[in-house]
Chains A and B, each alone.
Chain A
């Protein structure tokens, strides 16, 4: 379980949203040594929002994002890193959130499909236009992987798109539409 914490000064009961604030307060106001950083405390940025969270050692990044933050764009399809439906972008790289421990994500910057949509990335509308989805369960995972590709390679070939998306499974069989949607988004990003 993870929680968005409040930090209470043991000397005067003043509360702080961030642990670093409490540390500075203890030194400045009470003239004592800073408190040790609690185990399991992580700072991370998700879709441009900063979080400071206390997480258990066995909490996965998927659990943190889906269950705690309520971002449903990460989906649990295979449960063991075989399907790509839980993909998020971490510091520019697509990673499988079901195979990543939240406690390893201290200091990381993460993007999910919701963030990509909020930033009005053209991939969302090109995925809609080309029906690159049927049931839609795996779709956000594809969008996230495609976004990571375009960040790195703004003008990918069809082969490169296929290779980038080869770790994402779609049971409905929408594969033929994804290269079209990604290529069109790339074109839009280049002003075409």
Chain B
């Protein structure tokens, strides 16, 4: 093979340019196909970790802290241990427990497995019980006698940041309540904001706030641990089961190869960090109790305990922005305060605008509330800050916000119109303008030109106020990482099996892998299946639904191209022809591999298509008894591996993102009750190339439903006096139902300007993250007031001066 051909097959590290070797024609890719997991899921046969039951299995329950900040002064477990049916009790002072260990699997944070101190109400701590049933385990926990030492607490992040505020976690942070720098710098400067403000015709300042929502994963955190003698076997609900495997091996001091980790389907996770810190400690405890009792141990959070999985969106902002009268923004200086954890809030100004001067400053507070984690996704602060800034500037200028977007679209301080050369340098068409294309389609669908109006000026015949909002950004869901996927051709019928561990996030990425494999191999889609490895040992990229395809798509493609090459070599190359039991004469003895191709699972000569052989005929049966004159081909197997740099990894500007996403939300606000009705959502997403259109649309409407829900009704409510969560259940914590979601239009734009295979890019993170802030603009457009999020009826009425 020549260099180009090898390069076209083998994975490229750090994909920084457009796909140089797309297919000439597509069959399954881009087509609506029957999803591979559909029947399993619709019929109830799909197995999730919470469904796992093993013979003799015990149930494990862990105590949770009844106070927002308290220490166990003394604990007596005698009565619990004596209860009939209790088989094991593990206390915080057990000698087998290390003082601290890595419980996060992501950042390497060191925490006690069973803490003696609770830092938020609902935190698992103190003691765990394994019993014959869940009821007995719960009953045993009630028999544990504890003397609590209550401590001062602080559930408000701004109060926690004040000098002299009581310490909220003195064991881990003895000096202050500030979150230590971890993932990002708390101060980032691009350009010179002082200069930027000098260049401005006008400067405005504003603030906004968003309170904590919860991820509400349908399947609650859970796991099952069984020791098979010296071999741990663990079922996890985990977005990165391979990390769980590494941690379990380290904790129990055995080689990784001694551990089997199984990851069945997952009942909604929505982000790589959602459960990790609160997921691994129970697995460690279950492992210890399983070892001691000689029985499998299952743990499962209650729904109330699941409300530990909050979003990292609890944030307050103060933004100063300078702009010219034509709408060009010259400088942004934004300060944010967030409650552990948070993310940057000014990256999107750098990544998808021409704004040259940007200053980001942030402070994270450790408060006595549940720790936040990313879900669908970690860019919420970035998205809120970007969108609110544009909406406030548009409002100050009385300009159409969609025009403002076009004026400021760009990358790293350069206008999009000036980036034609860069687009071409990265292998893309220079004349495509993603934002313009998305806006054209999206505005038409929402009827923007006839519906947009000045804020608070349109009263509908039904007496409600009409509002329409707009948000836009780039797509960041093609981030870096590594993924490995293999393909094996089955004996007997020559069908293909795509293999990796199961980590079912997003909308059936496994279906998209099969579409790519089918087209690359020249097989029919129906003859390609994703069958997961039982053990977390062959690892596709699994942090985010969107990144699944941007990374794993390459891995599948590369594996498929290698397998196809092997098929064509076998079809043309004799093997041990002197051995009738071992060898065979090839079906195309006079051809070279490049003379052949495969279509619909049939290998044929390009110059004479009557010369053909099916894959089943080529690969032969799987098993021979004795000496049989049938010949056998060698096993056909290859793996693909992709290790790539993403948009927000590595040096800035290494991978400028040219694809854009736009979102519109239309609302009606009842000014008497404060209720908001969502009447329409429109998403126009440039996904470069839609490999599976059904999956793209799934992320569009799915993200829209969750997006409006999380800023309309969803909020974790704490009692200020006791620090206790007041609405930790799905009756009092309201997520959208089918009647709360209005019509959602999904528009797929394909400019081919993604860095994934065939010009694709991700979509899973954008919609649920951006739609909330289109909603923020729509509410303002309706009532002429800026309302903090979530925009619950009381806040609407307060903004209107009615309460």
Instruction: List A residues at the B interface (Cβ < 8 Å).
Output: 1, 58, 66-67, 70-80, 82-83, 85, 112-114, 116-117, 123-125, 127-129, 131-140, 143, 162-163, 165-178
| Complex contacts, B738 vs chain A, CB 8 Å | 162, 165-166, 168, 170, 175, 178
| Complex contacts, B39 vs chain A, CB 8 Å | 117, 124-125, 128
B68 to chain A, nearest CB (A): 23
User: Pick the contact of B729 from A82, A140, A167, A178 — CB < 8 Å?
Assistant: A82
CB-CB nearest in chain B for A140: B44
Interface size on B, residues (CB 8 A): 60
| Complex contacts, B695 vs chain A, CB 8 Å | 131
Whether a CB of chain A sits under 8 angstroms from the CB of B219 is yes
Contact A112 B44 (CB under 8 A): yes
**Those of B335-357 within 8 Å (CB) of chain A:** none
Which of B265, B709, B730 has most A Cβ within 10 Å? Answer: B730
User: Pick the contact of B265 from A67, A80, A135, A174 — CB < 8 Å?
Assistant: A135
CB-CB nearest in chain B for A135: B268
Contact B42 A124 (CB under 8 A): yes
| Complex contacts, A76 vs chain B, CB 8 Å | 50, 220
Cα of A134 to Cα of B729 in the assembled complex, Å: 23
CB-CB nearest in chain A for B739: A166
Whether a CB of chain A sits under 8 angstroms from the CB of B506 is yes
A34 to chain B, nearest CB (A): 33
Contact A173 B702 (CB under 8 A): yes
Cα of A168 to Cα of B398 in the assembled complex, Å: 43
| Complex contacts, B694 vs chain A, CB 8 Å | 131
23 pairs from A and B in contact (CB 8 Å cutoff):
A75-B48, A77-B218, A82-B731, A83-B218, A113-B42, A124-B42, A128-B38, A128-B39, A131-B35, A131-B697, A132-B42, A134-B507, A137-B265, A139-B42, A140-B43, A166-B738, A170-B218, A170-B738, A171-B218, A171-B735, A176-B741, A176-B744, A177-B701
| Complex contacts, B731 vs chain A, CB 8 Å | 78, 80, 82
CB-CB nearest in chain B for A164: B738
| Complex contacts, A123 vs chain B, CB 8 Å | 42
User: Pick the contact of A143 from B42, B220, B706 — CB < 8 Å?
Assistant: B42
Binary A-proximity of B4-38 (CB < 8 A = 1, otherwise 0): 00000000000000000000000000000011011
CB-CB nearest in chain A for B219: A137
Contact B53 A136 (CB under 8 A): no
A75-B267, A168-B738 known; A173+B701 contact, CB < 8 A: yes
Cα of A132 to Cα of B508 in the assembled complex, Å: 12
A178 to chain B, nearest CB (A): 6
B607 to chain A, nearest CB (A): 40
| Complex contacts, A113 vs chain B, CB 8 Å | 42-44
- Given contacts A116-B43, A173-B706, could you give 17 more A-B pairs where the C-beta distance is less than 8 Å? A72-B47, A75-B218, A78-B731, A114-B44, A117-B39, A131-B694, A138-B267, A140-B43, A166-B737, A166-B738, A171-B268, A171-B735, A173-B702, A173-B709, A176-B743, A177-B698, A177-B701
Cα of A79 to Cα of B732 in the assembled complex, Å: 13
A76-B50, A173-B705 known; A85+B45 contact, CB < 8 A: no
Whether a CB of chain A sits under 8 angstroms from the CB of B135 is yes
A78-B730, A168-B738 known; A133+B268 contact, CB < 8 A: no
CB-CB nearest in chain A for B216: A171
Contact A134 B737 (CB under 8 A): no
Binary A-proximity of B666-700 (CB < 8 A = 1, otherwise 0): 00000000000000000000000000001101100
Contact B703 A173 (CB under 8 A): yes
Contact A117 B43 (CB under 8 A): yes
Cα of A69 to Cα of B38 in the assembled complex, Å: 23
Contact B41 A139 (CB under 8 A): yes
User: Pick the contact of A169 from B38, B42, B48, B737 — CB < 8 Å?
Assistant: B737
Whether a CB of chain A sits under 8 angstroms from the CB of B40 is yes
A145 to chain B, nearest CB (A): 10
Binary A-proximity of B242-283 (CB < 8 A = 1, otherwise 0): 000000000000000000000001111110000000000000
Contact A78 B303 (CB under 8 A): yes
Cα of A30 to Cα of B735 in the assembled complex, Å: 62
| Complex contacts, A173 vs chain B, CB 8 Å | 701-706, 709, 736, 741, 768
| Complex contacts, A171 vs chain B, CB 8 Å | 216-218, 268, 270, 706, 735
Whether a CB of chain A sits under 8 angstroms from the CB of B629 is no
Contact B44 A85 (CB under 8 A): no
Cα of A93 to Cα of B735 in the assembled complex, Å: 25
User: Pick the contact of A136 from B37, B220, B705, B709 — CB < 8 Å?
Assistant: B37
| Complex contacts, A125 vs chain B, CB 8 Å | 39
Whether a CB of chain A sits under 8 angstroms from the CB of B726 is no
Instruction: List B residues at the A interface (Cβ < 8 Å).
Output: 34-35, 37-48, 50-51, 53, 133, 135, 216-220, 265-270, 302-303, 504-508, 694-695, 697-698, 701-706, 709, 729-731, 735-739, 741, 743-744, 768
A24 to chain B, nearest CB (A): 35
Cα of A175 to Cα of B744 in the assembled complex, Å: 10
A66-B51, A128-B34, A131-B698 known; A73+B219 contact, CB < 8 A: no
Which of B37, B41, B53, B133 has most A Cβ within 10 Å? Answer: B41
| Complex contacts, B266 vs chain A, CB 8 Å | 135
CB-CB nearest in chain A for B38: A128
A66 to chain B, nearest CB (A): 7
| Complex contacts, B53 vs chain A, CB 8 Å | 67, 70
Cα of A165 to Cα of B302 in the assembled complex, Å: 24
User: Pick the contact of A135 from B42, B43, B504 — CB < 8 Å?
Assistant: B504
A75-B267, A78-B303 known; A133+B739 contact, CB < 8 A: no
CB-CB nearest in chain A for B302: A79
Cα of A14 to Cα of B675 in the assembled complex, Å: 68
Contact A134 B698 (CB under 8 A): yes
A89 to chain B, nearest CB (A): 13
| Complex contacts, A178 vs chain B, CB 8 Å | 738
Cα of A165 to Cα of B505 in the assembled complex, Å: 24
Cα of A57 to Cα of B133 in the assembled complex, Å: 15
B495 to chain A, nearest CB (A): 20
A157 to chain B, nearest CB (A): 14
Which of A166, A172, A177 has most B Cβ within 10 Å? Answer: A172
B645 to chain A, nearest CB (A): 29
Contact B735 A169 (CB under 8 A): yes
CB-CB nearest in chain B for A116: B43
A171-B217, A176-B701 known; A127+B42 contact, CB < 8 A: yes
B765 to chain A, nearest CB (A): 14
Contact B219 A80 (CB under 8 A): no
Cα of A127 to Cα of B698 in the assembled complex, Å: 13
CB-CB nearest in chain A for B43: A117
B505 to chain A, nearest CB (A): 8
| Complex contacts, A127 vs chain B, CB 8 Å | 38, 42
A44 to chain B, nearest CB (A): 18
| Complex contacts, A162 vs chain B, CB 8 Å | 738-739
A94 to chain B, nearest CB (A): 15
Cα of A167 to Cα of B736 in the assembled complex, Å: 11
Cα of A139 to Cα of B46 in the assembled complex, Å: 10
Cα of A123 to Cα of B39 in the assembled complex, Å: 10
Contact B45 A83 (CB under 8 A): no
Cα of A165 to Cα of B738 in the assembled complex, Å: 7
Contact A137 B703 (CB under 8 A): no
Contact B51 A72 (CB under 8 A): yes
Which of A131, A139, A162, A177 has most B Cβ within 10 Å? Answer: A131
Contact A133 B42 (CB under 8 A): yes
A76-B50, A136-B37, A163-B739 known; A58+B44 contact, CB < 8 A: no
CB-CB nearest in chain A for B701: A176
| Complex contacts, B702 vs chain A, CB 8 Å | 134, 172-174
Contact A137 B48 (CB under 8 A): yes
| Complex contacts, B697 vs chain A, CB 8 Å | 131
CB-CB nearest in chain B for A161: B738
